[in-house]
Amino acid sequence: MKRLLLIAATLALAACTITTKHDQDPYANPFYQRYLNTGSSLDAQITSTMAALQASPRSATLHNRLGQLLLQKGFPKDAEREFERAVTADKHFYPAWYNLGLVRMSRGELAGAHYAFSRTVHYKPGHSAALFQLGLMEEQRSHQRAAIDYYAKAFLINHSLLDVRVNPRILDSKLIDLALIKAYPTAHARESMAFQPAPPGYIQEGLEAPSVQPSAQQIVTPSMPLTDPSQQGNAPSQPAPQPAKPPL
């Protein structure tokens, strides 16, 4: 019995040692490294990013980049781990939260995906793609009102989400028409606003009055009599001025 306990303790200690070593340098010999031998540019990018992470293990940007590359290579679990490392290194790094949500959704981890998309919107309130994904998830949960609200916000921020070439998942929703109706009053109010600048010559507080050069038609000589052009033909002729007589 004592021997079995000793063996179990030894195995547990060895497992802890391996885990600690892996956590200290998770890129020393990862599982997917054996598949980075095709000579492709993707493999080269993965290898170079791993080397960069060994020098900067707390870089959220590098973790996020490696996650994207591993996803292209076909390792979604390893990609998810990299996105998790990215948000652990910097919880405000919203691109990694969004990518984490996409990977979790693709793997059917809906609760985790919803949390990741919510974190994305928390740190980047105007993230239209995350708003759309949240709307899609609420629609799948049969939360119609919440889904329409998310969709309307997303479309107001980014109209291109209505294009199936940009957002193929729009075909998965049956509430787009209702979302557009909800978004219409705000969108119409924005588009109908016609702001006007100050009129020419208007003196604004703190600004100098613009210097306006008068045109030739605006220049009036004070010695020139003003006449009515309609009465020029009937106006009596004025006598020519007589020269002054010299004094005696």
Three-state secondary structure string covering 152-205: HHHHHHCHHHHCCCCCHHHHHCCCHHHHHHHHHHHHHHHHHCCCCCCCCCCCCC
Whole-prediction pTM: 0.67
Grouping H, G, I as helix, E, B as strand and the rest as coil, residue 150 is helix
Is the confidence at residue 232, as pLDDT, over 80?
Answer: no
Write the pLDDT tens digit of every residue in 156-186: 999 999 999 999 999 999 999 999 998 887 6
The average pLDDT across 23-51 equals 88
Quick one: average pLDDT of 13-32? 61
Q: How far apart are CA 170 and CA 136, in angstroms?
A: 9
The answer to whether the beta carbons of residues 131 and 150 sit under 8 Å apart is yes
3-state secondary structure 9-42: HHHHHHHHHHHHHHHHCCCCCCHHHHHCCCCCHH
As a whole number, the mean pLDDT across the chain is 80
pLDDT of residue 167: 95
Distance CA 122, CA 104 (A): 18
pLDDT digits (tens, 9 = 90+) for 6-15: 555 555 555 4
Q: Residue 29 has what pLDDT?
A: 80
Report the range out of 33-37, 53-57, 240-244 with the highest average pLDDT.
53-57
